[in-house]
């Protein structure tokens, strides 16, 4: 029960890493809400939570739209009374070679993956500063680490690098009451990667020293660690959970 009575909001929590994190945090005693673009996206995780005896609250919203963010943040605090943990997990990528990449691809990708992190963190931080406590965990990617940017998703890689930099600055500005850290997952078995060609996924496995892709639980456990009291002296850090991929 490492998060007993804590309240946690997870963006993009309808599936994948976000949904797995929500279920893990519920099992650790937290009261949890997930936000996603559509209610239907969250039906499965809500049902899974219910079948395990937990109530998972849902909020509809778009992390890239300021008004929407304010609405779901206020609704979360109205529901739970406070916000102890924010996991900025919502993300997306558009795969297109460099010469065909459009400005629209770049804007959409930066809006969701980078500006969305800023908007949600800013809205949550106002409540957390009033409480004089809070933990913000931003989800970057192995692709945001120096020299690991990936062909076809250079906009996503740049956004995820931006998340790491933003985390460090936020850690300075929001200290001493709010801890801000990043989890940078390696290649993880979720719907985001399920549609990739077999050859690409084979390369991802070969590129990892542990010779497998991450399960969503591998990433969720790192997020849980940073959200728990075990990480009270961590701020501005990047926890790389990549099976050694970045060692190459
Ligand atoms: P996923 O695509 O399975 O789930 C992402 C969720 O975010 C979806 O439910 C989607 O509806 C939601 N979402 C997308 N845009 C949103 C928006 N504007 N507002 C609200 N919700 C939105 O992805 P995943 O694999 O679980 O990845 C989760 C996070 O981890 C993302 O930030 C991703 O970039 C990052 N990541 C994933 C991998 C991987 O290999 N899967 C690797 C590194 C980093």
Q: Are strands 238-241 and 134-139 parallel, antiparallel or unpaired?
A: unpaired
CATH code matching the domain that covers 7-241, chosen among 3.90.230.10, 3.40.50.720, 2.40.50.140, 2.60.40.420: 3.40.50.720
- Helix-helix angle 39-51:16-27, to 10 degrees: 30
- 233 C-alpha vs ligand 1 centroid, how far in Å? 27
Within 13 Å of residue 204, how many CA atoms lie on the same side as its CB?
A: 20
The Cα-based distances of 143 to 68, 79, 93, 153, 187 in angstroms read 28, 36, 11, 9, 9
Protein residues with CB under 6 Å of any ligand 1 atom:
11-12, 14-18, 35-37, 41, 62-64, 89-92, 112, 116, 139, 141-142, 185, 187-188, 190-193
Quote the CA–CA distance of 42 and 240 in Å, as a whole number.
27
Region of residue 29 (phi > 0: left; psi between -120 and 50: alpha; otherwise: beta): left
Q: What integer pLDDT is reported at residue 118 of this predicted model?
A: 99
CB 8 within 8 A of CB 31: yes
Taking the CA atoms of residue 110, residue 25, residue 30 and residue 239 in that order, the dihedral angle to the nearest 10 degrees is -60
Quote the CA–CA distance of 134 and 157 in Å, as a whole number.
27
DSSP 213: P
Q: To test ligand 1's pocket by mutation, which of 46, 190, 193 has the most ligand atoms within 8 angstroms of CB?
A: 190
Q: What integer pLDDT is reported at residue 248 of this predicted model?
A: 83
* pTM value surpassing 0.95: yes
Taking only the tens place, the pLDDT of each residue in 174-220 is 999 999 999 999 999 999 998 888 999 999 999 999 999 999 999 99
Element (H, E) at 181: strand 178-185
Taking only the tens place, the pLDDT of each residue in 49-69 is 999 999 999 999 999 999 999
CB 123 within 8 A of CB 115: no
Element (H, E) at 201: helix 198-207
Taking only the tens place, the pLDDT of each residue in 142-173 is 999 988 999 999 999 999 999 999 999 999 99
Per-residue pLDDT, averaged over 123-144, amounts to 98
CB 144 within 8 A of CB 163: yes
| Residue with CA nearest ligand 1 atom 2 | 192
Query: Rounded to the nearest 5°, which phi and psi values hold at 59?
Result: -135, 135
Enzyme catalytic residues: 156
Q: Would you kindly state where each structural domain of the chain is located, as residue ranges?
A: 7-241
Strand partners of residue 185? 241
- 91 C-alpha vs ligand 1 centroid, how far in Å? 4
Q: What integer pLDDT is reported at residue 154 of this predicted model?
A: 97
Q: What integer pLDDT is reported at residue 195 of this predicted model?
A: 85
Quote the CA–CA distance of 17 and 19 in Å, as a whole number.
6
Beta strand ranges found along 26-143 (DSSP E) = 31-36, 57-60, 85-88, 134-139
Per-residue pLDDT, averaged over 214-232, amounts to 98
């Amino acid at each position: 029960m490492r998060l007993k009575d804590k309240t946690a909001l997870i963006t993009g929590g309808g599936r994948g890493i976000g949904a797995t994190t929500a279920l893990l945090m519920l099992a650790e005693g937290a009261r949890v809400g997930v936000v996603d673009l559509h209610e239907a996206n969250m039906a499965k995780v809500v049902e899974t939570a219910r079948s395990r005896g937990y109530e998972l609250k849902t909020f509809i919203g778009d992390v890239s739209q300021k008004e929407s963010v304010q609405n779901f943040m206020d609704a979360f605090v109205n529901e739970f009374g406070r916000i102890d943990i924010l996991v900025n997990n919502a993300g997306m990528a558009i795969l297109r070679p460099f010469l065909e990449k459009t400005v629209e691809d770049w804007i959409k990708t930066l809006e969701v993956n980078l500006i969305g992190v800023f908007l949600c963190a800013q809205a949550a931080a106002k409540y957390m500063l009033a409480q004089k406590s809070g933990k913000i965990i931003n989800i970057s990617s192995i692709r945001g680490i120096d020299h690991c940017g990936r062909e076809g998703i250079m906009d996503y890689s740049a956004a995820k690098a931006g998340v790491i930099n933003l985390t460090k600055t936020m850690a300075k500005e929001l200290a001493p009451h709010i801890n801000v850290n990043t989890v940078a997952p390696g290649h993880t078995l979720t719907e985001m990667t399920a549609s990739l060609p077999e050859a690409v996924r084979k390369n991802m496995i070969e590129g990892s020293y542990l010779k497998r892709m991450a399960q969503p639980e591998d990433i969720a456990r790192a997020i849980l660690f940073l959200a728990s009291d075990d990480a009270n002296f961590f701020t501005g850090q990047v926890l790389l959970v990549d099976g050694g991929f970045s060692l190459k």
